[in-house]
Structures are given as structure tokens and as C-alpha cells.
Structure 1
Amino acid sequence: MKIIGYNCIPKSSILIVHQELSSLMFCQPKLLISSYYQKKNSFVTRLQCSVASRPYASRSDSARSNKKQGKSSSLYGRTSLLEMKNERIANRARVYEFLKSIGIEPDELDGLELPVTVDVMKERVDFLHTLGLTVEDINNYPLVLGCSVKKNMIPVLDYLGKLGVKRSKITEFLRRYPQVLHASVVVDLAPVVKYLEGTDIKPNDIPRVLEKYPEVLGYKLEGTMSTSVAYLVGIGVARREIGGLLTRYPEILGMRVGRVIKPFVEYLESLGIPTLAVARLIEKRPHLLGFGLEDQIKPNVKLLTEFGVREASISSVIAQYPEITGLDLGTKLHKQQSFLTSLVDLSREDFGKLIEKMPQIVSLSSTAVVKHVDFLKSCGFSEKQVKKMVVGCPQLLALNMDIMKLNFDYFQGKMGRELDELVDFPAFFTYGLESTIRPRHQMVAKKGLKCSLAWLLNCSDVKFEQRMKYDTIDVNEMEDESSFDMNTLMEPRNNESDSDYDEDEDSDEEYL
């Protein structure tokens, strides 16, 4: 063998490509390799020996092996994720099947996170049943099934119970506002309660407010609630009246100023009721804001004019009896006009005058009217005189019968006057016998003056004392029968609130 042949072979090839060659073939050349090349290539030799010692399989063999075993070659476990998805679908199908079996339609629950097992869903349904909610209630708001009993329902119910919401009220509470079960006590409910307390609603009245209007728990503090209160204060509602007003009619907190409250106020102003008078009406009867402007108030005003009420008197009618704007007025007016016409032969104009002087007559029961008319006739008045008295003072049809009898007995027995004087001044029956009629009559009799009933009674106590200083009676001072004065609504208020909430409650009622 020639040494020159060795030098033509690359060093790396000797170690890598020709490893399997017989050692006898290269025994002589290896002896001539320098120690430098031995050290340099020793690492490569060890690496190749290590790789060669490992078991090796081709790609085709590996694929055939995995195919036989039914396993995927993916490193990310795609089959495992698919199995999990299929399992979730199967579990949801079983939950839906359970809900359908008890009458609950799960169509609206798609996309909502639900319990993975039927047992957990059954627990939720059973818990809702213990609160008094029926399958129909759940179908009205099926999203309640997405609330966890422990994480959502129990914390909310515990909080409502601590506030004082009664157990007997909770079922209706949840029927009206089931969304409360989704709420966070700290983030959603507690801030609203704090705001209500800041409007001077008494702590004991907070549960009453929530029971009457549970939807308030869903409003944002910087939205409708604050603007409605601010507007009412701006038109003249006393700030100290807000708490009682909201306690009696908390629905105001959900009314939009631009759509509900402001149009109502402006319409009453257009009828001739001053803004401050409107504010006073709202203080005393906040539920007026709940009457629909377009479908109740305006149609009722039109009906009043059709039944003989003069347009100039509409403001007085509403100020005296604000509830008239929200009644089923068409039915009442037709019925009452027909009845009174048959009883005392009223004309359309007469009926209009009755409403102007006492608008409550549209709601007066026929039994009371007949009873009072019969009393007047028993006193000796003719049907024509009764008609004149009723038109002149329709309050006669609603007065306390015992008071009327006492006044009439005193009129006949002590005053000795003619019945015609009562026909001319039927309002005599509306004055208190001991507080007004008797003392004034005695003073006039003592002085020897002769006067009409109107001069005697139709004035204030201060004015009457001034009259008693006269030597003669000035007929020019004789006043017309008193009518409603709009200014009485705008008089300075006393220190006591007209809006204090007072409602008898069953002290034995169980709380949450």
C-alpha cells in the first residue's frame, strides 16, 4: 500500500462516511495520523457513535405505527380538544333536555354560561322555586338560570334582607326586577341605596321604596335619578320634601326629564297653573307624574270642555282635583251627567258649573247623591229649589249628613229665617255650627243687626270683626260665594312636611 493514497482522502470522510470499513484496511494509515488530528476528531467520533447506538425508525414506519394505534401525529393534542368540545355539547344538550322536561324553554340561553351538569341546574331551578318563582316566571326571564346560587343569588338576597325588604315581598320583587340577581352588591346595589339615603329618604323607608320600585336598583347615579330630582327642585319643589315625595312615588327616579316631567309641567302651565303651583301639586300628589300626557291628561282636558267646563276654569278644576287628569273620565262624565239630569234636571251648562265648583262630583257615588237630595227635599225644598242649591253649592251632595242636620235645626230653631235664604246661600251647610255659625249669629243678634247669610258667613274672622264695628251694613261689601283661589297653593309653607310617608305595616310580617 502506498502512503500517497491516504493523503487524497479527506479527514472528515474517514470518520463519518467510512466508519463501517474494516479496521484492517486502515490499520497502517491510522498509525501515521498525527496526534493533532486524533484529538480534533475524537469528539466527532464519539458523537457519531452515540447517534448510531440509538434506535432509528423511518418516517413512514412511524406514520404506519401511529395509524395502527389510532393516534394523531400532532404535538398539540387536537383530538383531546375536540373530545372536550363534544363533551360540552353533550352536557349542554342534557341540561336543555332537563329544562324542557319541566316546561322551561332554553332557546334564549344559547351563548350563556350554564352549569355543566343537570344536577347543578336542578339546584338552581329548585332554589328559584323556593323564592316563589314559577316556571312561567323563569320563562319570562330565562337568563336568571345563568346566576349561581352561592355566588349571585344568596349574596343579593342577604343584602336585601339586611336592608329590610320583607320575605313576603321578595317574590313580587324578583318578578318585577329579576335582573337584580345578576348584580354585584358592592358595585351595583350599595351605591344606589347610599344615593337614596342622600335624598333624605328615611332609613326605615328604604325597603318600602325598593319594594314599590325595585327597578331603581338598575339605574346609574349620574343618569336619570339625579336629573329628575334636580329638575323638581328647580321648579320649586321644596328640597326637604324630596325624601317623602320619593318614598311615596319612587317611580319618579326612573322618569326622564325631557320626555316625561318637563312636558307635564309645561302643559299644566299652558292651562294657566303657575309653575310654583304645579310644584306644590307634585309635592302633595307625586303620582300625577305617572299619568300619560298624551293618552290621559290631554284627552281628559278635552272631555271636560265638551261637558260644559269653560276653558278658563280648567286650571281651577285640575288644581282642586288633580286626579281628574288620570281618570277614565269619558265613562264617568257620561254616567254622572245622565244620572244628575234624571235626578235634578240639569242642563249641560249646569253640569259644567257643578264640575267647576266641585270637580270631585265626577267620582261621587249615586247612593250618596240620592241620600243628600232626599234630605233637602225632606227639609221642605222643592225640586226646583234643590236644583238651584245643588248648582250653587254642589258640596251639598258630599257633606256629612249629621252636620247638615245640626245646621238646619239651628237655622230653623234659633235663627228663625226663611228657607229661601238657604236657597240663595246653600253654602250655609258647609260652615261649622260651633266654630262659625252660632258665635257670629249671637254677635249680630246682640247688636240688633239684620243681614243676609252671605254677609254673616262669607268672610274671614278678621273681616267679620271689622263688620261688627259698623253701625249699618254696607250692601256693597256683600261678597259672592267663595270659589277656589289658585294662590292658596303658593302660600308660604309651614315647617311640617306634607310628604311624610305614613303607612300601617304588619309588625309581625317576617323579614328576609
Structure 2
Amino acid sequence: MQDTLHLSPNTTTNALPPKLNFPTTPPNFPSLSRPRNLHYPTLSSTKTTISLPPKPPKTPETPPNPHSEFQEKMLYLDSIGIDLFSLLSTHPPIVSAAAADIKSVVDFLRSAAGLTSSDLRRIAAMCPEILTSKISTLVPIFTFLLREAAVEGSDLRRVIHRRPRLLLCSVESRLRPTLYFLQSIGIAEINKHTSLLSASVEQKFIPRIDYFQKIGFNYRDTISMFRRFPSLFCYSIEHNFEPKFDYFMVEMGRELKELKEFPHYFSFSLENRIKPRHRRCVEKGVFLSLPAMLKTGEERFQGRLEVCCNSSIPVRTSPLWCTNYDDDNAS
């Protein structure tokens, strides 16, 4: 049986439900306030941020101990026979150089040129600056010696041992210009005269050439002398050329052409070789050429004097005069 909806006579099906009337003021509800002793997290209206715990402060790095560094450097140099305190007197910057940098330079010199501890001690005594140089400045010098100066790899140790200062020279401003000058005057085998490469053309070579022209040689003869004996460039004008040339001209009474033929005269000691032997020749009344008088050993020189005194000697203008010392030139 179906239920029947009964409507009042004044109600129509399309009528709205009666309007509900609410009070204009809210009822008095009990206050819900936060307890004063509790704290609630507050969230942002846009996004929630989570604060991470602060990072622990970095502990400062312990600075290197200067005493330990100095001791390491001292012990290392001592291991190759170099006294650090003696080195300080000639090269004070060694005190601030790192031990690791000095080791790197020494290792490079050992591997590149085969230098021994003895060579390193010589370097420290003559050019201590090399020990505090940079490998980046040493590499171009070794490259120059091998490629441009034609030094054999097996000869590098001899070259550096003889002239350590080469390792302190600039390739661009010193080594290469000197090489070109020596080649320009006809010295072809530079690898046999590498010690000259560290010298200045303007300050050392040109003044010596000028001196020989001043004492009577023309430019062609002068260059010929230096070409035959390049070591002339190494000798002092004041302490070598001048006193030896004065003795040659005044006491010995020789002619310039003998020096032209034998420029090696300037390589002998004036006091220990030239003067004593000349005086003995004068005492014996013997005239010997410069090579015969200076190149031979003492025993052979004395034997030469005895032979000349006990036999007739060709006069100086005779073609046979030179035969008396031809065999001595090879000694």
C-alpha cells in the first residue's frame, strides 16, 4: 500500500520551505584558548620550511711548522753533501724555498743531465741560485743545448759541470745571440766551446777583439786568432793579455807573427811557465819557438835545452829552424 503525502490546503507543491531565523549574535560558547605553557609550531601560509641543524664550524688548518720545513730542507741538502748554513751566506733566498721544490730541481738535474752529488756540490758553490730556480726555466736551456748548440746528450753532464752558469742564462737574450756571433766569425764546433755561450758579446767578446787590434793586429788576423783558439775570449785583458803581451814584446823581444801562429801563448802562466823557461833559454843561449818552449813537459823541455846546447843549432832564419820543435807540437 502506497504512502500518501498530505499537504495542507494553503500549501502548494512549488512553495519554498519556510525561512529559518538565526540569532544575530553568536551564542556564548566556552573559550578554547591555547594553554600558556605549551608551544605549538607555526606553519607558513605558503610553504613549510624545515630548518636543518647548523653545520659544525670548520676547524682551521694547522699551518706548516717552519721548524719542521727547515729541518727537512737541511737534512735533504746534507744528504748530497751541501751545508745549508754555508749556503745561506751566499744565497739567502734558500731559506724561503720549499724543500719539495729543491728536491724537484735536483731530481730534474739528475735525470736530464746525469749530474752526480759531486756536480751538485759544485753547482751549489758556484751558482746556488740554480737550486731555487724553476724547472720551467731549465727545460728551454737544455733544449737549446741539445738542438741548437748540438751538444750530445752524453756530454750534458760535462757541459753543466764545467759551466753551471749556463743554467741561469736566458735563451733569448744571451745564449742564442752568443751562439750566432760565434758562428758568424767561423767557430763551427760550438759544442766544444759551450762555456762561451754564457758570455756577453758586447761586454766580453768585442772588447777583446778591439784590444788585439789596438796592439797591432788587423781585424782579419785577430778573428783568425780567436777562431784558432776561442778560449782567448775567456781571458782578462788587464790580468792576462796586458802583462803577458808586455813581457813578450819587451823581455822576450818576439814578433807579432809568432802570437798569430800560436795564440795559445796567453793560456800559460806568466810566473810559473813563461818567465822561468824564457830565462833558462837565455842562460843557455838557446832560442826556441813558443810551442817548443811552452808546450812540452818539464823533463822534455830540459832535454831539449841539453840537445841544443851540445849540438849546433840552425840559425833562426834557416828553414831547418822549425824542425827542432815539430815533434813537440803533438805533445
Task: Provide the C-alpha distance between the structure 1 equivalents of 2:120 and 2:278, rounded to a whole number of angstroms.
Answer: 39
Is the CA contact (8 Å cut-off) linking 1:264 and 1:289 kept in structure 2? no
Task: Provide the C-alpha distance between the structure 2 equivalents of 1:320 and 1:437, rounded to a whole number of angstroms.
Answer: 26
Whichever residue aligns with residue 284 of structure 2, its letter is: K
- Match for residue 383 of structure 1? 219
Select 1:307's aligned residue among 114, 132, 148.
148
- Match for residue 288 of structure 2? 451
The superposition leaves residues 312-348 of structure 1 with CA deviations (integer Å, 9 ceiling, x where unpaired) of: 554333222212123211332332344456xxx4246
Task: Return the offset for 1:431.
Answer: 4.2
Task: Return the offset for 1:427.
Answer: 3.1
Q: Report the CA distance shift for 1:310/1:450 in structure 2 as closer, same or farther (over 3 A).
A: farther
Select 2:302's aligned residue among 449, 468, 478.
468
Is the CA contact (8 Å cut-off) linking 2:244 and 2:270 kept in structure 1? yes
Task: Return the offset for 1:244.
Answer: 0.6
Matches for 1:257-336 after TM superposition, within 5 Å:
259-269=104-114, 273-293=115-135, 295-311=136-152, 313-336=155-178
Whichever residue aligns with residue 237 of structure 2, its letter is: M
Does residue 374 of structure 1 match 2:210? yes
- Match for residue 153 of structure 1? none
The superposition leaves residues 285-312 of structure 1 with CA deviations (integer Å, 9 ceiling, x where unpaired) of: 332122333x232321221243344325
Is the CA contact (8 Å cut-off) linking 1:309 and 1:352 kept in structure 2? yes
- Match for residue 247 of structure 2? 410
Task: Provide the C-alpha distance between the structure 2 equivalents of 1:256 and 1:406, rounded to a whole number of angstroms.
Answer: 47
Is the CA contact (8 Å cut-off) linking 2:149 and 2:179 kept in structure 1? no
Partner secondary structure for residue 390 of structure 1? helix
Partner secondary structure for residue 280 of structure 2? helix
Task: Provide the C-alpha distance between the structure 1 equivalents of 2:284 and 2:116, rounded to a whole number of angstroms.
Answer: 44
Matches for 1:26-425 after TM superposition, within 5 Å:
63=36, 218-219=65-66, 221=68, 225-235=70-80, 237=81, 241-247=83-89, 248=91, 249-251=94-96, 254-255=99-100, 259-269=104-114, 273-293=115-135, 295-311=136-152, 313-339=155-181, 345-347=184-186, 349=188, 351-353=190-192, 355-356=193-194, 358-359=195-196, 361-403=197-239, 404-425=241-262
- Match for residue 279 of structure 2? 442
Q: Report the CA distance shift for 1:333/1:327 in structure 2 as closer, same or farther (over 3 A).
A: closer
Partner secondary structure for residue 380 of structure 1? coil
Partner secondary structure for residue 468 of structure 1? helix
The superposition leaves residues 411-433 of structure 1 with CA deviations (integer Å, 9 ceiling, x where unpaired) of: 12332333333233323234453
Whichever residue aligns with residue 301 of structure 2, its letter is: R
Task: Provide the C-alpha distance between the structure 1 equivalents of 2:34 and 2:95, rounded to a whole number of angstroms.
Answer: 79
Matches for 1:459-498 after TM superposition, within 5 Å:
463-464=297-298, 467-468=301-302, 471-472=306-307, 478=329
Is the CA contact (8 Å cut-off) linking 2:102 and 2:131 kept in structure 1? no
What's the TM-score once normalised by structure 1's chain length?
0.42
Is the CA contact (8 Å cut-off) linking 1:372 and 1:401 kept in structure 2? yes
RMSD: 4.0
Is the CA contact (8 Å cut-off) linking 2:291 and 2:325 kept in structure 1? no
Whichever residue aligns with residue 244 of structure 2, its letter is: N
Task: Provide the C-alpha distance between the structure 1 equivalents of 2:203 and 2:112, rounded to a whole number of angstroms.
Answer: 36
- The structure whose residues are more often helix, as a share, is 1
The superposition leaves residues 394-442 of structure 1 with CA deviations (integer Å, 9 ceiling, x where unpaired) of: 3433533334233223212332333333233323234453454222211
Q: Report the CA distance shift for 1:452/1:350 in structure 2 as closer, same or farther (over 3 A).
A: farther
Is the CA contact (8 Å cut-off) linking 1:308 and 1:348 kept in structure 2? no
Task: Provide the C-alpha distance between the structure 2 equivalents of 1:406 and 1:284, rounded to a whole number of angstroms.
Answer: 28
Task: Provide the C-alpha distance between the structure 2 equivalents of 1:73 and 1:450, rounded to a whole number of angstroms.
Answer: 126
Is the CA contact (8 Å cut-off) linking 1:376 and 1:386 kept in structure 2? yes
Partner secondary structure for residue 349 of structure 1? coil
The superposition leaves residues 33-58 of structure 1 with CA deviations (integer Å, 9 ceiling, x where unpaired) of: xxxxxxxxxxxxxxxxxxxxxxxxxx
What's the TM-score once normalised by structure 2's chain length?
0.62
Unaligned runs of 5+ in 2: 1-32, 40-56, 308-323
Task: Provide the C-alpha distance between the structure 2 equivalents of 1:454 and 1:251, rounded to a whole number of angstroms.
Answer: 53
How many residue pairs are counted as aligned between the two chains? 262
Q: Report the CA distance shift for 1:465/1:445 in structure 2 as closer, same or farther (over 3 A).
A: farther
Higher RCO structure (Cα 8 Å, ≥6 apart): 1
Task: Provide the C-alpha distance between the structure 1 equivalents of 2:247 and 2:103, rounded to a whole number of angstroms.
Answer: 57
Task: Return the offset for 1:450.
Answer: 4.0
Task: Provide the C-alpha distance between the structure 2 equivalents of 1:417 and 1:331, rounded to a whole number of angstroms.
Answer: 41
Q: Report the CA distance shift for 1:284/1:479 in structure 2 as closer, same or farther (over 3 A).
A: farther
